[in-house]
Chains A and B, each alone.
Chain A
Amino acid sequence: MGPTTETTTEPMAGPATSAPAPAKQPPTSGSTANQRKAQRGSATGLLANLALVLYFAFSLLPVLFIVALSLKTNAEQTTTYLWFTPTLENYQTVLGLGDGGSSYVRFFLASLATSTGAVLVSLLIGIPAAYAAARYRFKGSEDLMFTLLSFRFAPELVVIIPLGVIYQQIGLYDTIFGMVWVLQLVTMPLVVWILRSFFQDLPAELEEAALLDGYTRSQAFLKIVLPLVRPGIAAVCLLAFIFAWNNFIFPFTLTSGDAQTVTVSSLAFLGGNQVRFNLVAAGAVMAVLPPLVLALCIQRYLVRGLSFGAVKG
């Protein structure tokens, strides 16, 4: 191999061989180029940080605004300035602290009951189905998975109108049980798809080894597999809870009082002839808090959860 072959192959092998590149340039011009590059790098770095700060200002602006508004008095609620004496009065009014509870507390508890119920039912039904779909190849498995996925993407009103008619007939309208049932449309696809991806992550040899050790199939599942996916199940629980809590259209159309949730009741403060913006804000802040706190606990699994297991973060 002479130097001629080396020069001819150089463009081809360019990315892999880094040695020839600096050798071509005299050292002085190379260092000034590097300096210029570094200068440009710090300038773009500054611009990038500026862009980030702008985005996060946009991202947090409504949150800061709503918190500020919730702390304003009646007299100040229709002012836009920032300097005011904060008061917790609005929170007390919304919660009805002075006069023995308010409807907001009832709505909050209804949200808690329907969301928790929906998650529990989804887990009970969803864990076996997710395990079956992850471990066995059987006829109809993909059909079941995609039917569930289609629920996630179907416009809810397609089901709501007939369901409203049925619910009125069989007395499930405006009940916690009725809401738990209909929220399965939201939580079930989530639970099955995400848990399937967690089950698939475990090697099948795990259960085979357990079977060889004399465990039955169900023992292998309960004692070996389930403990290993426990973090996944916890994450799915919280995420499903958040989705059920944040749902609006189902409680909005299928409840009227007893089973009404906080997402619906926050709209109610906007109605009436005298709108109390500061009360709307206080109600919204309290309704936002539970999902936010839960989300911070499962940030690690959020990517996988929100993409239905399609992207493993």
Chain B
Amino acid sequence: MPLTAEAPPPRQDSADGASTAPLAEARRVSRRRKALRPYLLSVPAVLLCAGILYPFFLGVSYTFFDFSAQNPQPDVVGFENFATILASDEFWASARVTLLFALSATALETVLGVGVALLLNRSSLIDKLFERVLIVPLMVAPILAAIMWKLLLLPEVGWIRPIAEFFGVTGYNGTDSPVMAMVWAIVVDAWIFTPFVAIIALAGLRSLPKSPFEAASVDGASWWLTFRKLTLPMLWPYLLVAVIFRLMDNLKMFDVIFGLTSGGPGDATTTLQISAYLEAISYARYSRGLTYMFLLWALVFVISMILVKYLRRIQDRAAGV
């Protein structure tokens, strides 16, 4: 056995006590090595983080320059980028669009997801069948989902126009109007990500204890009362995880909107990510684009900090009860 070549593990003879000096020395060395071990294991990951944080901080520093494709030798301009962007109507318009999209899409996905999970939790035959199909949209690349929907919504190609006409809707024009462009962007996002909320809610529902529900049913509590007073509070720690993931993702959603409307018509669906993309890539005004991005990043960061802290409190409370 190759194992015998190794020095005996210190734990094995700890019963003898620290009688001999070399043994104690060996133990001290091994303890130091032991203390060092997690750091050694993490070194590659830390280096990788550093490799990613370097461009991030480089990007943050660009926000204080007037760096663009036309101006490759940038000068320091201080907070000028922030001042002009925060004073511009475009920024506040896209901030509004970002929040409108993110909050509506997250709300729709949460409500639909919980609904689907409740329906699938009855575990009848039809539920088992549907559960397999449920995740299909979630595995489609968001950009491809956006393209699929773009074609589906095209009046001359897609099936939505005939469906709309069947239900008597006249003047269907796809994503041509500002309001409908936003509505469809939210629907497409919900199409992809409702299953995400649903499978997490379903896992939560299945882990809930049975006895409170049996008791409520014996008491003759209505379905709505049971849902509001029992299911929802107990499900909340699970649901919150899904909501946090969805809100963070939707605040920075790029693929769905870019693929579906590219921010149009006009600036009806121009979120901060789209604005930053237009500034930085299309117009090659890197510093301005990065300032947009940094402001969005700060928003996402603050919201995620608050939500994660809240989640921990909820989870601690759930574990304590």
- Interface of A toward B, CB cutoff 8 Å: 14-16, 18, 21, 45, 48-49, 51-52, 55-56, 58-63, 65-66, 69, 77-78, 80, 124-126, 128-129, 131-133, 135-136, 138, 140-141, 144, 147-148, 150-151, 153-159, 161-163, 165-166, 181, 184-185, 188, 192, 208, 211-212, 214-217, 219, 242, 245-249, 253, 263, 266-267, 270, 277, 280-281, 284, 287-288, 291-292, 295-296, 299, 302-303, 306-307, 310-313
Contact = CB atoms under 8 A, between A and B. Distances in A.
A62 B45 contact: no
Contact of B141 (A65, A124, A246): A246
Nearest first, the 6 closest Cβ-Cβ pairs linking A and B are A15-B215, A246-B141, A129-B45, A136-B38, A132-B41, A313-B203
B134 A138 contact: no
A150 B252 contact: no
Given A51-B119, A132-B37, A161-B290, A284 B139 contact: no
A61 B241 CA distance: 29
Interface in B67-124: 112, 115-116, 119-120, 122
B55 A162 contact: yes
B38 A266 contact: no
B242 A307 contact: yes
Nearest to A136: B38
B165 to A, nearest CB: 10
Q: Interface majority SS on B: helix, strand, loop or mixed?
A: helix
A267 to B, nearest CB: 7
B67 to A, nearest CB: 9
B191 to A, nearest CB: 7
Q: At the interface, is chain A mostly helix, strand, loop or mixed? A: helix
Contact of B144 (A133, A153, A287): A287
12 contacts: A52-B130, A144-B49, A151-B52, A161-B290, A161-B293, A162-B55, A212-B9, A214-B9, A248-B142, A277-B154, A287-B141, A299-B135
A189 to B, nearest CB: 10
Contact of A249 (B139, B157, B255): B255
B167 interface: no
B64 interface: no
Contacts of B52: 151, 159, 184-185
Nearest to A126: B45
B212 to A, nearest CB: 8
Contacts of B242: 307
Given A14-B219, A80-B161, A214-B9, 17 more contacts: A14-B218, A55-B119, A59-B136, A65-B159, A128-B42, A128-B44, A129-B41, A144-B45, A148-B45, A148-B49, A158-B60, A158-B293, A181-B51, A246-B144, A247-B141, A284-B147, A306-B200
Interface string B274-303: 001100110000100110011011001100
A302 B135 contact: yes
A154 to B, nearest CB: 6
Contacts of A248: 141-143, 254-255, 259
Contact of A77 (B6, B157, B200, B218): B157
A153 B200 contact: no
Given A132-B42, A303-B203, A16 B215 contact: yes
